[in-house]
Structure 1
Amino acid sequence: MMDTNQSQINITVGLQYQGLLGIVLFFIQTAVPSCVFLFINGTLLFTLRSKPVFRETSRYILLYNLLFADTVLLTNSQLLYIIAACRIRLIYPVCGAALMLSHLTTVISPLTLVVMSLERYVAVCYPLRHATIITIKNTELAIIVVWAFSSLSVLTRVLLILNFPFAELENLQMKDFCGKESMLLDPRSDIYEKTFTCFLFASAGVTVTCSYIGVMVAARSASTDKASAKKARNTLLLHLVQLGLSLSSTIHNPLLFSIPKSLDRVTTVRIQIVIYLCIIILPRCLSGLIYGLRDQTIRPVFMHLCCQWKRSPSLSDVPTKDKV
C-alpha cells in the first residue's frame, strides 16, 4: 500500500545519467501537477469550512475528510519524492514517521468512500429515515471510527517494525532512500502489509458494489425519486472508480519492475514519471475534480479557478441545493 513512496528510488538512480536540464524537467513534470492539485484541494477544503451549508451537511463533512486525507497523502508523497530525487537519505525514525503518515491517510480514503456510499444508499433506499440515520453526530462518529481503525493499523505496523534489532545497527542513518521496502525490516511486516491491503480493498469494494446494486434495485421502485436515484447511482459508480484508482497504487512497484531493461536510462525515468503521475498523483486529486465539477454548490469555485478573468461569485451567492 505504501508503494507510493518507493518510486523515488528507481527514478533517482536514473537521474544521475541526466544533465541539469533533465533534472529541471523532472521537477517540473512532478512538482507542477502536484502543486496545481494541492491548490485545488486546498481551495475546496477552505470552501467546505466557510459556509454553514457545508459544515452542517453530512455529505460535505465526509467529503472534507476525504479531501483532507488525500491532500495530506499527496503532500507527504511528493516531499518524499523530492527528498529522494535530491539524494537525501533520512534516518529510520523520520522515514518511519513519514511512511506511517502515508499509510494512515491511505487507509482513511477508501474507508471514507465506504461511508459516503452508505450515506447515498440510505438517501435513496430509506429517504424518510435519512434525516434520522444520517445525522451530524452519527457522521462525526463514523469519521472517528475511520480514523481509529486507520490508527490501529498504523500502531500494528509500528509494533512490527520495533521488533527489528535497531540496537545492532551502527547508526540510524538509512543506507537507502526512504521507501516501503527500506522499512519492511521484519518478514512479518510484509505479510501483514499484503494481507491488510487485500482485506481493506476487498471489503470496501464489496460494500460499495452492494450499495450500488441496492440503489439500482430501488430505482425500479415506483415510490423512488428517479432523478435522485440516478444521481446516487452515478455517484456510487464514481466511488468505485476512485476505489479502483486507490487500489492501483499497490501495483506501482510491479509496473516499475516490468519496464524493459533494454531501454536507456532517460526513457526509463520518463516512463516512471508517467506511471507516478497516473497512479499516485491523479487518484489523490480525483475527489476534488469530481465534486468540484458535478456539485452545483462547489462548482463556482472551480469556475473561478479555471476562468480567473471572471469575477468569482461570493460565497453568499453560492446555491445551497443538493445536486450530487
Structure 2
Amino acid sequence: MEASTLVPYNTTESKSTVSRDIRIWITLTVTLILFWGIFLFFIVLMLHAFFTTAHLRTQMRYVLFMYTLVNDTLNLTTCVLLFLLTFALYQIPVRGCHFVVTIAASTFLNSRTGLAVMALERYAAICFPLRHSVICSVERSWVPITVSSVIGFMPSFIDIIILSTSVPEEFFFERVICRREYLIVTPYQATRMIVTDATTFTMVALIILYTYIKIMMEAKKVNGDSASTGKANKTVVIHAAQLSLSLTSFTSPISEYLMRQQVAFVRFFYFFLFMLFPIFLSPLIYGFRDENFRNHIKKFLACRPHKTKRVGHTP
C-alpha cells in the first residue's frame, strides 16, 4: 500500500518540478530577448545617426565607437545565446560550441581593449589638441581597430591550435552542453586563460589610470577649455567603471560553481548585472551623453504620425 501511494505522489511532484522549470526558462528567455531587443534598438539608432551625419564620419572617436558597438552587439548576442543554451541544458556539437565560444571570448577581450583605445583618443584630444587631428585621423582608424582585433582573437587562435592537436577528430562531433570549461582539455589552456585575463585587465586599467591622471593635470594647467577636459575626464571615469564591473566576469567560472545549487533567478541576476550590464553601458555613455546622438535619438522618438486636418468651416 505504501509503495502504491508513493508512486503517484512522486510522479505528480516530478511533473510539478518540470512545469516550474519550464516557466522559469520561458520567463528568463523572454526577459533576455527583451533586453537584447532594447539594446539592439539603440544600436540601430546610433548606427543610423553615424551613417546619416557627415561630420560624425570624419572623427576617429565616432569610428572607434561604431566598431565598439558592433563588437559589443556580437558579444551580447553570443553571451545571451550561451546562457540560454546552458540553462536549458541543450546539447550542441562541440564544433558549433567552439565557434560560439570563440566569438564570445574574442569580442569580450575586444571590449576591454576598446575601452583603453577610446581613453587614449580622449587623452590625445585634450593633451595634444594641435596634433590630435593628425594623430587620430579617420584614415588611421584601421590601426587601433586592427590591433584591438588581433589582441582579442589571438588567445582564441592559440586555443584552436592546442585543441586541434590535443584531441581526436571525433571530439568535435560530440554533443555537449556548451560551456567554455568543456573546451579546456589541457593545463596549458587553463594557464593561458589566467595569464590573458590578468594581463589584459592590468594593461587596460593602467592605460585608463594614466589617461585620467594626465587629463586631470592638463585641466589644472588650462583654464580656458575646462568644459571639454571635464567631459573627457567623466568619459574616462565611466570607462573605468565599465572595466571594474567587467572584472567580475573573470570570476564567472568560480561564481558559477558556487551558485550551481542556487535558484535560477540568482544565477540570472549575477549574469545580468556583471556580464550584460557593462556591455549595455557603452551605448548609454555616448547615446545619451553625446549631443549628436542624443539629438538624433530625441528626433526619432519624438517623431509621431500627424493626423490630417480637415479643411472647412469651424462649426
| Structure number with larger C-alpha Rg | 2
SS of the residue 2:292 aligns to: coil
Maintained 8 Å contact 2:94/2:174: yes
Q: Which amino acid aligns with 1:112?
A: G
Q: What is the Cα deviation at residue 224 of structure 1?
A: 5.7
- Equivalent residue for 2:58? 56
Residue of structure 1 aligned with 2:69, choices 54, 67, 75: 67
SS of the residue 1:127 aligns to: coil
SS of the residue 1:220 aligns to: helix
CA distance in 1 between partners of 2:37 and 2:136 (Å): 35
Q: What is the Cα deviation at residue 98 of structure 1?
A: 0.8
The residue correspondences of 1:111-150 to structure 2 (distance < 5 A) are 111-150=113-152
SS of the residue 2:174 aligns to: coil
The residue correspondences of 1:207-218 to structure 2 (distance < 5 A) are 207-218=207-218
Q: Which moved more, 1:227-236 or 1:134-143?
A: 134-143
% identical equivalent positions: 23
CA distance in 2 between partners of 1:61 and 1:19 (Å): 44
TM-score scaled by length of structure 2 = 0.84
1 or 2, which has the higher helix percentage? 2
SS of the residue 2:177 aligns to: coil
* 2:278 paired with 1:283: yes
Q: What is the Cα deviation at residue 102 of structure 1?
A: 0.9
Q: Which aligned segments of 4 or more residues in structure 1 are displaced greater than 4 angstroms? A: none
- Equivalent residue for 1:245? 245
Q: Which moved more, 1:192-201 or 1:53-62?
A: 53-62
CA distance in 1 between partners of 2:303 and 2:144 (Å): 38
CA distance in 2 between partners of 1:157 and 1:69 (Å): 21
SS of the residue 1:128 aligns to: coil
CA distance in 1 between partners of 2:170 and 2:21 (Å): 39
Q: Which moved more, 1:270-279 or 1:245-254?
A: 245-254
Q: Which amino acid aligns with 1:152?
A: M
Residue of structure 2 aligned with 1:33, choices 32, 35, 41: 35
Maintained 8 Å contact 1:110/1:204: yes
Q: Which amino acid aligns with 2:303?
A: R
* Structure 2: unaligned runs, 5 residues or longer: 1-16, 305-315
Q: What is the Cα deviation at residue 168 of structure 1?
A: 6.4
* 2:291 paired with 1:296: yes
SS of the residue 2:166 aligns to: coil
Q: What is the Cα deviation at residue 156 of structure 1?
A: 1.2
CA distance in 2 between partners of 1:31 and 1:131 (Å): 41
When the two chains are superposed, the root-mean-square deviation of aligned CA atoms in Å is 2.2
Maintained 8 Å contact 1:72/1:105: yes
CA distance in 2 between partners of 1:247 and 1:52 (Å): 36
Change (3 A) 1:277 1:139: same
- Equivalent residue for 2:173? 172
CA distance in 2 between partners of 1:19 and 1:153 (Å): 36
Residue of structure 1 aligned with 2:98, choices 89, 96, 99: 96
CA distance in 2 between partners of 1:173 and 1:17 (Å): 29
SS of the residue 1:90 aligns to: strand
Maintained 8 Å contact 1:76/1:102: yes
CA distance in 2 between partners of 1:89 and 1:282 (Å): 27
Count of aligned pairs: 288
Q: Which amino acid aligns with 1:300?
A: N
Q: Which amino acid aligns with 1:248?
A: T
Q: What is the Cα deviation at residue 19 of structure 1?
A: 4.5
CA distance in 2 between partners of 1:206 and 1:84 (Å): 35
CA distance in 2 between partners of 1:224 and 1:111 (Å): 32
* Structure of higher RCO (CA pairs closer than 8 Å, 6+ residues apart): 1
Q: Which moved more, 1:141-150 or 1:106-115?
A: 141-150
- Equivalent residue for 2:200? 200
- Equivalent residue for 1:220? 220
Q: What is the Cα deviation at residue 269 of structure 1?
A: 0.7
Maintained 8 Å contact 1:252/1:275: no
SS of the residue 1:83 aligns to: helix
Change (3 A) 1:160 1:22: same
